[in-house]
Amino acid sequence: MSQPRQLDSTLYRLLRSEDIAGFNAQKPAQGPTDMQGGDFRGLDLRQLDASGVDFGDAYFRGADLRGLDLRAANLEGASIAHAQISGAYFPTDLTADEILLSQQFGTRMRYRAPSKG
């Protein structure tokens, strides 16, 4: 399992300093934004434009994610232990059980397998 880490990017530094408006203004309008494995513990990320952001294997322990629309973000392998998630939208491929287990116990979230049919 990967450990949370400090990323070497301007966008990551904006999030670490909780400059959400600055991040939203500088985030590319097209294509993915790589935040894989990032350490976002305890940050207030409300108002974040998370569309197209790859948060795979990221760590959000105790972060404030209230009201975020994460439907177009990648959260595969991310952990949201004890994060505030009221009003947040999650990707439809994440089951409620996965989200709850991650929020309560810190497990890494896994997307459900695509249905065959």
Task: With a cut of 70, say whether residue 116 has pLDDT above it.
Answer: no
**Number of helical H runs and strand E runs in the chain:** 3, 2
Helix (H, G, I), strand (E, B) or coil at 79: strand
Residue 38, SS3? Answer: strand
Q: State how far Cα 64 lies from the chain centre.
A: 11
Note the pLDDT tens digit of each residue in 21-63: 999 999 998 889 999 999 999 999 999 999 999 999 999 999 9
Rounded CA separation 47/37 (Å): 21
Give CA–CA dist 20/11, Å, rounded: 10
pLDDT band at 1 (very low <50, low <70, confident <90, very high): low
> Would you place residue 10 in the very low, low, confident or very high pLDDT band (cuts 50, 70, 90)?
very high
Q: How many residues does the chain have?
A: 117
Number of domains in the chain: 1
Alpha-carbon Rg for the chain in angstroms? 13
* CATH number where 83 lies: 2.160.20
Which pLDDT does position 61 carry in this prediction?
Answer: 97
For residue 90, pLDDT beyond 80: yes
Amino acid 112: pLDDT: 85
Shortest CA distance to 20 belongs to which of 51, 49, 57? 49
Of 52, 37, 20, the closest CA to residue 11 belongs to 20
Mean pLDDT of 78-98: 97
Token code pair at residue 92: 């439809």
Q: What residues are paired with 79 via a beta bridge?
A: 59
Tell me which residue range forms the domain holding 17: 1-117
Has residue 115 got a pLDDT over 90? Answer: no
